[in-house]
Amino acid sequence: MSFLSAPPRKPFVARGSKIARCDRCLLPQLRCICEFRVQVEARARFWLLTHRNEVYKPTNTGRLILDTIAQSRTFQWSRTEPESELLLQLANPAMDPYLVFPSAPDYAPRMVEFEPKPGREPVFIILDGTWRQARRMFRHSRYLDQVPVIEPRTLRQTRYDLRTQAEDHHLCTCEVAAALLEQIGDAHSAEVLDAYFEVFNEVYHASRRTRPMSDLSVAKQRLTLARGLTQSAR
């Protein structure tokens, strides 16, 4: 399942719901960032386990991961009826899945450090929702109980302010993915993803008129440089 193929649940009726938006990036059509998309073959892929309330939110950053990191995908979260394809992939011996979540004493035996495994591709499963939703998803997803848990180790402070974060260290979905790529030594893929996120963040603010469009130049230059490095490596 992708963000675009997810079945409609309810109309998006929050502030900005009447704005004509790009069907892919969900930003206003006059602020579309699709031209900046570039995919990289990273050292890991991501599976987003997405809360149903997140699928159609323009402020969701999970779709930036799907745009940037090749072979990543999303599954819609369910407490009792997970997608059959998710269960099939979890059992795939070619995959090396890790559930991404902060450490805590009550599941300490599940916490691991990343170690490459020959013949297996690392997959990071990110619970894509608000922090409150993610905690509930973690507790109630019994089908993930056997998946080892990995904690992002980063000094990053969130730059995502399109929603209110409880703490500065509470990173958005895209920032978590970039931190994990850095953690496994894939600095280039992390830079491309982080640069694309910066463009998204700045353009979204400009669409709300909270920042002037001139402030986008640095973000766009950074992404252009990251894109050039990707193309030269092919």
What is residue 166's predicted lDDT score, i.e. its pLDDT?
Answer: 47
53 belongs to a structural domain: yes
89 belongs to a structural domain: yes
pTM for this one? 0.84
83 belongs to a structural domain: yes
Containing structural domain, residue 115: 40-187
116 belongs to a structural domain: yes
224 belongs to a structural domain: no
CB proximity list for 161: less than 8 A, separation 6 or greater = 201
What is residue 157's predicted lDDT score, i.e. its pLDDT?
Answer: 81
227 belongs to a structural domain: no
Domain count across the chain: 1
Q: Torsions phi, psi of 76, nearest 5?
A: -80, 130
Measure the CA–CA gap between 136 and 79, rounded to whole angstroms: 9
216 belongs to a structural domain: no
Residues of the chain with pLDDT under 70: 1-18, 161-169, 209-222, 225-234
What is residue 108's predicted lDDT score, i.e. its pLDDT?
Answer: 96
